[in-house]
Amino acid sequence: MGRFEEQQYSRWVLGVVAVMVIIFTMSACLKDDEGVNQISAVRALNAVPASTQLDIGLDGNKLNYDQYTGRDEDFAYLDTLPYKNAWPGNRLVRVFDPKDGRDASPVVQGTVGFTPGKFYSLYVVGHETIELMATEDDLSAPAAGKAKLRFIHLSPDAPALDFGVVGREAPLATNKAFKSVEGFFAIDAGEAYTFSITDHGTKEVLHTVELTPEPGVIYTVWVRGLLADGGDEALAFGHEVIIH
């Protein structure tokens, strides 16, 4: 057994109810019959350019572990874990590199507070220095005919960025530094958009994003990779889209 699995097994009996609840929809699993929120939900993203498989855990439980299959889930660069139940309160988040061995120290750790009934995302970010960050995810349904979208800057060597619709003067997000988040905003669904990611200082367009949002869907557009990628496609500056 690895560092997480030893503690995970000892807590299995206490966690079995939460595991069974996952069978139902996320909205149901976050409420009891009287509408009182009981637990939280969390997912995770590996945004460290070109990183190989990592392990991420809450307290002693491995987050990149599938209770149904009994197998570890992929958590290398660009991999996103699905939402999973999490007990509320302050939780210790630790990230390990499996290649370092079972007794190695975490590559990064931190404490994140979870509120009952809320959804969260964890992000492993950086390049030479690895960091953790977290967001609370507003998964309330968009209005009719609308989608929701947010923008997150996760390129470690990129300057502050603007994010907007090509052809429109006012950006949707402006002067966003590394690790900055522009919260969810509503956008018309069914329209084909070209978004620009622009250097805030020079106004140079560094990248564009093509997206046709669907009604009722919630998106996160995040900036990945390195501007100074040295021609290495694995490090290439660009974007990814998460559908919540």
- Residue 37 pLDDT: 57
pLDDT of 183? 95
Tell me the DSSP string of 25-52. -HHHHTB-TTS-B--EEEEEEE-STT--
- State pLDDT tens for residues 173-212: 999 999 999 999 999 999 999 999 999 999 999 999 999 9
All residues at 6 or more sequence positions from 163 whose CB lies less than 8 Å from its CB, including other chains: 151, 171, 172, 173, 174, 176, 182, 195, 196, 197, 198, 221
Q: What is the DSSP letter of 220?
A: E
Structure tokens at 139: 């998964």
Alpha-carbon distance of 184 to 139, in angstroms, equals 9
Tell me the C-alpha to C-alpha distance, in Å, between residue 82 and each of 99, 156, 159: 24, 24, 30
Task: Give bridge partners of residue 133 from the DSSP assignment.
Answer: 123
Place of tokens 């492993």: 124
| Residue of 233, 228, 221, 143 whose CA lies nearest to 183 | 221
Contact (CB, 8 A) for 222 and 209: no
| Separation of alpha carbons 150 and 186, rounded Å | 9
Parts of the chain with a pLDDT under 50: 6-36
